[in-house]
Structures are given as structure tokens and as C-alpha cells.
């Protein structure tokens, strides 16, 4: 019998509640009863990696403040990191056709060149790199003579995904959704372990800064951001946490700035003070 089978029999409801409370209190991620087998599978990974024999022992180890390193690994396996380039393409279309013309013309009028965007819950980097490609292409097409001071802050709670994001190397399969002209301009084809892979160019890397940040913690920056993407992150949080985080995040949004959420997420019923623009897109008045 494999270790995962042995362990799966042992996660009591009581212990499941303890783990889910811990995940909720620290990361805001809400694991309801139906997530028990998912939690077990993920805990098994950490038991294997640490050599700890039972969930109970692991829980004790995890909640000992001197084992903070393991806490980061634990959050790494708990979070779900699915993402891809140009996910929910309408958002990039809106960025190019509405948000960027509006933002850049206002900035030019005000004599301001600073544009900041935030990808909150950026996972392995596809989202911030897609935003960067979209913005740099827009600048080149529309405001060629202007030297913008443009930066994207990309944050995630998981150090594992951030390592991949910083490397910026993706398999051929993962870059399929990148429009060919952008693929040519912003990626370098290299061979890694006998496989053809795509590495993001220095031009893209230069505009994206990756940092670990738990959205529930204090934010160590001032903003303001013209655009915030927080997509497919809030689905893990319960309503009160969603409301609290949205209010906090959008307090870093510049007036007129845009807030993007995932298409399966809705801000309905939350007190956020934003103007609805279209599905999954909001604007700060």
C-alpha cells in the first residue's frame, strides 16, 4: 500500500478542520468539507518530502513558528496555480482598446510618464508577461516617441511559482496562445535538456518585478496603480475576506484606474465602491 493510501485513512474531520482553519487564518483560502481529499493529497506530498509520518505530527511541526520554512512549502502545495498566457483574452483587448488609450492620453496631458500595474496572484508569470507584451506593443504602435516609466509588480504567495516566473522559460505548448508577432518579438527560442523552449526576452523581464506577497498581509508599497489584475485568486476566499481584500487592494488604485477579476468571480454583494464597466472589469471613480 502506498504512503498516500495509508495517510488518507488517517485525516480525521477534526484535523481537517484544524488545517482548514490554519489555511483560512493565514492565507484567507477557504477549504470547505468537499476539499478534504484535495487537502489530503496535497498534505501527502509534504509528508513524503519531510519524512513526517502522520498528519497530526505534521500539523504540530507546521504550527511551530521556528518551522516557517515548511509553512511556505505548505502554502505552495495548497494553492492552485493554473494559468496561461492571454487567459480571458477580452481583458487584453480591453486594455489595448480602452484602458491604455485613456491612461496614456491623460498622462500625456498631465506631463506624467509613470505607469504602474499590479498582477496580484501572478502564479508562474504568464499573466504579468501577457500584460507587459500588450502594453509594450501598444506603446510602440501609438506613442513611439514617448519614454514611459512603466513597471508591473507581480506578486504571489507561493515561492515555487515565483521561481518559475522569474526564470521565464516556457514549453512550446504553453506559449501556443501568444500571438505569433508577439512570440517573435518577446521570446527567444532555446534548447533545454533536448527540448525546444521559449525564454522571455530581457525587454519583458525588465518591466516585471516579482515579489512574494500574501494578499492577507500588509502591503509593502505605496502605489498608486493604474491597473490591477486580481484574477482567479478570490475564488479561494470566502465573501468577507473577498470584500476586505478588494477594498484594501483598490485603495492602491489611481482614480480612473481599472480592476480586473476572473470571469468566474463576481463582486456582486460586496461593498467596494467601484464602477462596473463590463463583466469582470471595474473602474475606480
Ligand X SMILES: C[S@@+](CC[C@H](N)C(=O)[O-])C[C@H]1O[C@@H](n2cnc3c(N)ncnc32)[C@H](O)[C@@H]1O
Pick the closer one to ligand X by CB: 142 or 209. Answer: 209
Of the residues 46, 116, 156, 231, only one is catalytic, namely 156
Pick the closer one to ligand X by CB: 54 or 80. Answer: 80
Residue 78 has a CB neighbour count (10 Å cut-off) of 24
Pick the closer one to ligand X by CB: 7 or 260. Answer: 260
Q: Quote the CA–CA distance of 177 and 129 in Å, as a whole number.
A: 13
Residue 20 CB, nearest approach to ligand X (Å): 14
Pick the closer one to ligand X by CB: 9 or 82. Answer: 82
Strands 253-261 and 281-283: antiparallel
What does the buried/exposed string (b/e) look like for 106-136 if buried means 16 or more CB atoms within 10 Å of the residue's CB? ebeeeeeeebbbbbbbbbbbbbbbbbbbbbb
Of the residues 25, 42, 110, 116, only one is catalytic, namely 42
CA 8 to chain centre: 30
Residue 214 CB, nearest approach to ligand X (Å): 4
Residue 149 CB, nearest approach to ligand X (Å): 24
Helices and strands, number each (H, E), in the chain:
12, 10
Q: Is residue 149 annotated as a catalytic residue, yes or no?
A: no
Pick the closer one to ligand X by CB: 136 or 233. Answer: 233
Q: Is residue 42 annotated as a catalytic residue, yes or no?
A: yes
Q: Quote the CA–CA distance of 174 and 200 in Å, as a whole number.
A: 12
Pick the closer one to ligand X by CB: 207 or 228. Answer: 228
Residue 96 CB, nearest approach to ligand X (Å): 18
Identify the helix (H) or strand (E) that includes residue 276: strand 275-278
Contact 111, 148 (CB under 8 A): no
Counting beta carbons within 10 angstroms of the beta carbon of residue 68, is it exposed (0 to 12), middle (13 to 18) or buried (19 or more)? exposed
State the residues that interact with ligand X by CB under 6 A: 27-29, 79-83, 87, 121-123, 127, 156-158, 161, 214-216, 231-233, 236, 262
Residue 78 CB, nearest approach to ligand X (Å): 8
Q: Quote the CA–CA distance of 253 and 228 in Å, as a whole number.
A: 7
Question: CA distances (Å), 115 to each of 9, 12, 118, in order?
Answer: 53, 50, 10
Q: Which residues are known to be catalytic?
A: 42, 156
Amino acid at each position: 500500500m502506498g504512503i498516500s493510501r495509508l495517510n488518507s485513512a488517517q485525516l480525521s474531520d477534526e484535523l481537517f478542520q484544524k488545517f482548514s482553519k490554519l489555511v483560512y487564518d493565514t492565507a484567507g483560502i477557504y477549504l470547505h468539507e468537499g476539499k478534504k481529499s484535495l487537502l489530503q493529497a496535497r498534505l501527502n506530498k509534504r509528508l513524503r518530502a519531510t519524512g513526517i509520518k502522520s498528519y497530526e505530527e505534521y500539523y504540530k511541526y507546521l504550527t511551530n513558528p521556528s518551522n516557517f520554512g515548511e509553512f511556505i512549502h505548505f502554502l505552495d502545495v495548497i494553492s492552485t496555480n493554473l494559468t496561461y498566457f492571454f487567459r480571458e483574452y477580452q481583458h487584453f483587448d480591453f486594455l489595448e482598446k480602452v484602458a491604455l488609450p485613456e491612461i496614456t492620453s491623460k498622462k500625456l496631458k498631465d506631463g506624467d510618464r509613470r505607469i504602474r500595474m499590479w498582477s496580484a496572484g501572478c502564479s508562474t508569470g504568464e499573466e504579468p508577461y501577457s500584460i507587459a507584451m500588450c502594453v509594450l506593443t501598444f506603446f510602440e504602435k501609438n506613442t513611439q516617441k514617448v519614454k514611459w516609466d512603466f513597471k508591473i509588480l507581480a506578486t504571489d504567495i507561493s515561492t515555487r511559482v515565483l521561481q518559475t516566473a522569474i526564470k521565464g522559460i516556457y514549453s512550446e505548448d504553453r506559449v501556443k496562445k501568444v500571438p505569433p508577432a508577439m512570440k517573435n518579438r518577446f521570446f527567444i527560442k532555446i534548447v533545454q535538456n533536448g527540448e525546444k523552449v521559449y525564454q522571455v526576452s530581457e525587454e519583458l523581464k525588465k518591466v516585471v518585478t516579482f515579489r512574494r506577497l500574501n494578499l492577507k498581509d500588509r502591503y509593502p508599497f505605496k502605489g498608486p496603480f493604474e491597473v490591477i489584475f486580481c484574477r482567479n485568486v478570490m475564488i479561494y476566499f470566502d465573501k468577507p475576506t473577498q470584500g476586505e481584500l478588494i477594498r484594501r487592494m483598490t485603495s492602491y488604485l489611481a482614480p480612473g484606474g481599472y480592476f480586473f477579476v476572473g470571469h468566474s468571480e463576481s463582486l456582486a454583494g460586496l461593498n467596494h465602491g467601484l464602477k462596473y464597466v463590463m463583466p469582470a472589469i471595474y473602474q475606480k471613480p
